[in-house]
């Protein structure tokens, strides 16, 4: 499935989540046919979690814009409404520090309007 560490790194560097997940699936496959080491699988896992967590903010924003409550979002994530709200707020603040854009910030903060 892979051509060694260089191929794994190339897949990890791709912005798409599917390539790291393919590597993860390779590790979880039959040990006899496994081409990914445990350490490589851990790197893949960390990258996949990082990417999914980063994308969670965008999906939460879309859910709020579509009318979902913080309770509904929290339930979908398996957390409390306050935890969902706090995650979104923290990520919004991080985004504002890294790439301040008043238009995007206003749109991101608009969905914070509380229903707590």
Answer yes or no: do 46 and 73 share one domain. no
Alpha helices in the chain (DSSP H): 5-13, 18-28, 38-65, 70-77, 81-98, 102-110
pTM over 0.75: no
Q: Are 36 and 8 in contact (CB under 8 A)?
A: yes
> What region does 103 belong to: left with phi over 0, alpha with psi -120 to 50, or beta?
alpha
Answer yes or no: do 47 and 13 share one domain. yes
Instruction: Point out the least confidently predicted range of 32-36, 60-64, 86-90.
Output: 32-36
Number of domains within the chain: 2
Answer yes or no: do 40 and 11 share one domain. yes
Joined together, the tokens standing for residue 100 give 């301040």
Structural domain for 103, as ranges: 67-116
Q: Examine residue 61 and state whether it is found in any structural domain, yes or no.
A: no
pLDDT tens, 22-40?
877 877 777 777 777 888 8
Answer yes or no: do 36 and 74 share one domain. no
Q: Are 23 and 8 in contact (CB under 8 A)?
A: yes
């Amino acid at each position: 499935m892979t051509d060694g560490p260089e191929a794994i790194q190339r897949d990890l560097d791709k912005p798409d989540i599917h390539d790291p997940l393919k590597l993860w699936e390779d590790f979880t496959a039959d040990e006899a046919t496994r081409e990914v080491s445990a350490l490589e699988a851990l790197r893949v896992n960390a990258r996949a979690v990082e990417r999914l967590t980063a994308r969670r903010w965008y999906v939460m924003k879309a859910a709020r814009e579509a009318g979902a409550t913080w309770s509904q979002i929290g339930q979908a994530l398996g957390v409390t409404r306050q935890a969902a709200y706090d995650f979104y707020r923290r990520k919004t603040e991080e985004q504002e520090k890294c790439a301040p854009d008043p238009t995007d910030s206003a749109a991101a903060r608009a969905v914070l309007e509380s229903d707590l």
